[in-house]
A = this chain, B = another copy of it.
Amino acid sequence: MAERLSRGAFRLTHPVYIQGSASVVGDKEGQGPLGRCFDLIVKDSHFGCETWEQAESRFQREAVIRAVKKCGLDCAEVDVICAGDLINQCTGSAYGLRELEIPFLGLYGACSTMAEGLVTASLLVEGGSAERAAAVTSSHFSTAERQFRAPLSYGGQRTPTSQWTCTAAGAAVLSRDKGEVGICGGCIGVIRDMEINDITNMGAAMAPAAADTISRYLEATGTVPSDYSAIVTGDLGSHGSRLLVGLLQREGIDISAVHSDCGAMIFDAETQDTHCGGSGCGCSASVLCGHFLPRIASGEEGDVLFAATGALMSAMSVQQGETIPAIAHLVHLRRRTAND
């Protein structure tokens, strides 16, 4: 059973394990500081397809196939996959995973999707309805840029707080008993809106949601930041990360010594011209699968909180004068112990 700790926060009495995971990224991500940790770097932004949307689908499918293969399994042995992406109507996932014929739960959590997928998949496995469940998400610089901002050929100048949507996908396969990294708890996010309406400053829009979810999970578990070797956010970027640390400090919670942000880690902002860092669902998913999960498995990290944030606006809602609501979902990861 999962144990309800407070609204949205839960503990898994028996952890659910990440049996295998994989990351597939684009050329720019491969050239970044984490380049060596990814399973596959694809130099062609079209990934051999006719459109960027088809390419994003292929990134996502490739990540799932590799994660399943690492488990020594076939897709037919996965009971359900929790998947989503940023493209309108989540077509990156629908077309990407169509041919795999895995029972499919479509999610929309914007860039929080990997954490939302891990929360959902872990609860399905723990609850008994699935033997194995997968979570996957993707993003693509070129599909996101033209959908949310402007056509690439427009060549708009990017503001100092802007981030660079990663071309990347990450997938993880969860099981009841196999794997070195366990999910032992989590927290479902509440929508937070601090009335930011600048779509080139997503870090500011999302930081309050991250602060809320992290703070609620710490309170529900009676833990403090120093109980974790890392508290990882998805794609707040450097600006949003500073805001997050500040917001939590006001509540008397100091995460500065243990906080990392996948968006701030994936690029070298100075040499790669990415301003505040990477973003997109695939950013946190690929950094989790490529960097953090292996480090937790090896013991280089202890307990880790992975809190991915998502901005829940659309291009149209912003044009209609709406502000940007945001959400953050969280999973608590740790290495398998002798007691498990």
Contact residues of A with B, CB < 8 Å? 1-4, 7-8, 10, 50-51, 53-54, 76, 79-80, 84, 86-91, 94-95, 97-98, 101-110, 116, 119-120, 123-124, 126-131, 187-191, 193, 312-317, 320, 322, 325, 327
What would 14 A/B residue contacts be, using CB atoms closer than 8 Å? A1-B128, A4-B129, A7-B76, A7-B80, A88-B314, A89-B108, A90-B312, A98-B191, A98-B193, A106-B107, A106-B108, A106-B109, A106-B312, A106-B327
Quote the shortest CB–CB distance from A104 to chain B (angstroms). Answer: 5
Complex-state Cα separation, A102 to B8, whole angstroms: 8
In the complex the two chains form, is A316's CB within 8 Å of B88's CB? Answer: yes
By DSSP majority rule, is chain A's interface helix, strand, loop, or mixed?
A: mixed
Q: Which residues of B contact A116 (CB under 8 A)?
A: 105-106
Complex-state Cα separation, A65 to B110, whole angstroms: 25
In the complex the two chains form, is B2's CB within 8 Å of A128's CB? Answer: yes
Complex-state Cα separation, A190 to B102, whole angstroms: 6
Quote the shortest CB–CB distance from A188 to chain B (angstroms). Answer: 4
In the complex the two chains form, is A317's CB within 8 Å of B91's CB? Answer: yes
Q: Which residues of B contact A120 (CB under 8 A)?
A: 105, 120
In the complex the two chains form, is A320's CB within 8 Å of B108's CB? Answer: no
Complex-state Cα separation, A69 to B314, whole angstroms: 30
Complex-state Cα separation, A3 to B79, whole angstroms: 13
Choose one: B95, B105, B313; the contact of A91 (CB below 8 Å).
B313
Complex-state Cα separation, A317 to B109, whole angstroms: 21
Quote the shortest CB–CB distance from A54 to chain B (angstroms). Answer: 8
Quote the shortest CB–CB distance from A102 to chain B (angstroms). Answer: 7
| A88 and B315 contact, Cβ closer than 8 Å, known pairs A98-B193, A102-B190, A107-B107 | yes
Quote the shortest CB–CB distance from A66 to chain B (angstroms). Answer: 20
In the complex the two chains form, is B128's CB within 8 Å of A108's CB? Answer: no
In the complex the two chains form, is B314's CB within 8 Å of A101's CB? Answer: no
| A101 and B190 contact, Cβ closer than 8 Å, known pairs A88-B315, A123-B127, A312-B89 | yes
Complex-state Cα separation, A7 to B327, whole angstroms: 31
Quote the shortest CB–CB distance from A197 to chain B (angstroms). Answer: 13
Choose one: B7, B54, B193, B313; the contact of A79 (CB below 8 Å).
B7
Q: Which residues of B contact A314 (CB under 8 A)?
A: 87-89, 91
In the complex the two chains form, is B188's CB within 8 Å of A105's CB? Answer: yes
Give 7 closest A-B pairs by Cβ, nearest first. A127-B127, A8-B103, A94-B312, A89-B314, A10-B129, A2-B129, A103-B188
Q: Which residues of B contact A2 (CB under 8 A)?
A: 127-129
Q: Which residues of B contact A50 (CB under 8 A)?
A: 320
In the complex the two chains form, is A325's CB within 8 Å of B108's CB? Answer: no
Q: Which residues of B contact A105 (CB under 8 A)?
A: 107, 109, 116, 119-120, 188
Choose one: B84, B91, B103; the contact of A7 (CB below 8 Å).
B103
In the complex the two chains form, is B51's CB within 8 Å of A95's CB? Answer: no
